[in-house]
Structure 1
Amino acid sequence: MKKTVLTFAILIIVVTSSIAEIINPYEKAMKAQLALLDSAQTIQEYQAVANSFERIAQKESNEWLPLYYAAYSYINIGFDKSLTLDQKDTYFNKAEELLKKAETLSANNSEITALRGYAVMAKLAADPASRGQSLSPVAMQLFGKAIQQNGKNPRALYLMAQMEYGMAQFFGSGTEKACSMAKKSVFLYENESIEGINPYWGAEMAKEMTTKCK
């Protein structure tokens, strides 16, 4: 009798797991690509992941996260030092296009707004001498909006801290405000409850930034 009950229980677990995979192939595909995104280092690896996320986005036309992660992948490509300025801009522009699509699916989304700001900040970093004056306010506005949309979004706060720190260095002023924001972002990262395939990146970068603060 015990053996029969155990066999039945195992069967239930197997069937339930199989049904879960059939019911949610989208999340399964996303998790597989997120694992590759986490390990990506080269342009080719990021491009392959971006392509996969875009294919998922085409299939799951009501989901914003595939577009978000494809955009994030393109931003990472754009930071590659081997690229020319025009090449960098091509990737940053692609990211911005995808994020505009994502916003039509999820309005007032702090994560999307923060990543839009990150794309602008990346463009600025690619040519700070000629773009600082025009793009700094745009990036700051987007990060501020993202924080307003969700004050507990660690990515929005960390990215704003990065901008504040860069501006403080440029103008030769104190970095206390930037460092305070960076430390708060680390606290938020440590207390963030990651659900499923929602955004989670940036914790290590935020911690690294706080090492610059006294």
Structure 2
Amino acid sequence: MKTFLLTIATLISVSTFAQKNFDTEMSKSLTEWKQTNSSANFEQLSKNFPNEWLPKYYLAFSEVLSTFENKNAEENYKNLDEAKTIIEALQADNLMNSEILNLKALYLTAEIVQNPMQKGAENTPIIQQLYAKSLMLNPSNPRSVLGLAEFNINLANYSGADITQDCKNVKKSLALFDADQPKKNEPKWGKDRAESLLNNQCKTIL
């Protein structure tokens, strides 16, 4: 009995140490990424901690974000292909994770930016469905509220749709950002984007 209890205690200790080590390395990687835009550490962490979703999330997230600013189409398609593979693997293991659904929606938005004529009509309903599902899973996720609102606002530039409710949702997301308490190193981005939308596209609406 003593041996059994000692074994359990040892396993718990090892697990706790591994988690603390992961949290520390994840925090360092996020800091470096914010300073240098290098996602290399996320790739290494995803190999060192294959059962953790955050390194894969941030690796795909950084690949997708890079395509919104890069003018090199060849590089963008390469980055999107890599992100797609990661996101599909994440979805397979995390069916109920609203952040991963938001990431998939952002990826599909990046595809539209690269090829609006081909991907616009194809991706738009899927993106809206992804955000809707994300909101069903977690109605208080500010990135879900903001993501859908911003997508609709940008879509209105072409459709001419009324964006009053979307701007209200952007404002709603700010309150959700203030109340948001993500677990250590989990996504918390987006508040600055919501503020920018309110001060620009939504300035004359609300």
TM-score, with length taken from structure 1: 0.81
Alignment of 1:48-197 (within 5 A): 48-49=38-39, 51-84=40-73, 86-197=74-185
- Tell me: CA distance 1:23–1:141, structure 2 relative to 1, closer, same or farther (3 Å): closer
Q: How does 1:22-41 map to 2 (within 5 A)?
A: 24-40=20-36
User: Structure 1: how far apart are the matches of 2:109 and 2:46?
Assistant: 25
Please tell me whether Structure 1 or Structure 2 has the larger radius of gyration of its CA atoms: 1
What is the number of residues matched between the two proteins? 187
CA distance in 2, matches of 1:202, 1:162: 11
* Structure 2 residue identity aligned to 1:181: N
CA–CA separation in structure 2 for the residues paired with 1:209 and 1:189: 14
Separation in 2 of the partners of 1:180 and 1:89?
34
> Whole-Å Cα distance in 2 between the matches of residues 109 and 169 of structure 1?
30
Percent identity between matched residues is 24
Q: Which amino acid aligns with 1:34?
A: L
1:52-85 CA-partner distances (Å, limit 9, x unpaired):
112111111111111001011101121223312x
Spell out, residue by residue over 1:101-160, the C-alpha distance to the aligned partner (whole angstroms, 9 max, x if none).
Answer: 222332210000110000001111222233211111121111111111111111111110
Q: Aligned AA for 2:31? A: A
Shift of 1:93: 2.1
The 8 Å contact of residues 67 and 101 in structure 1, kept in 2 or not, is answered as no
Residues 70, 76 of structure 2: 8 Å contact kept? no
Counterpart-to-counterpart distance in 1, 2:152 and 2:30: 30
- SS of 1:157's equivalent in the other structure is helix
User: Structure 1 residues 149, 22: CA separation in 2 closer, same or farther (over 3 Å shift)?
Assistant: closer
C-alpha contact (below 8 Å) 2:64/2:83 kept by paired residues = yes
Q: 1:147-199: CA deviations, max 9, x gaps?
A: 11111111111110111112222111211121011111111111111321111
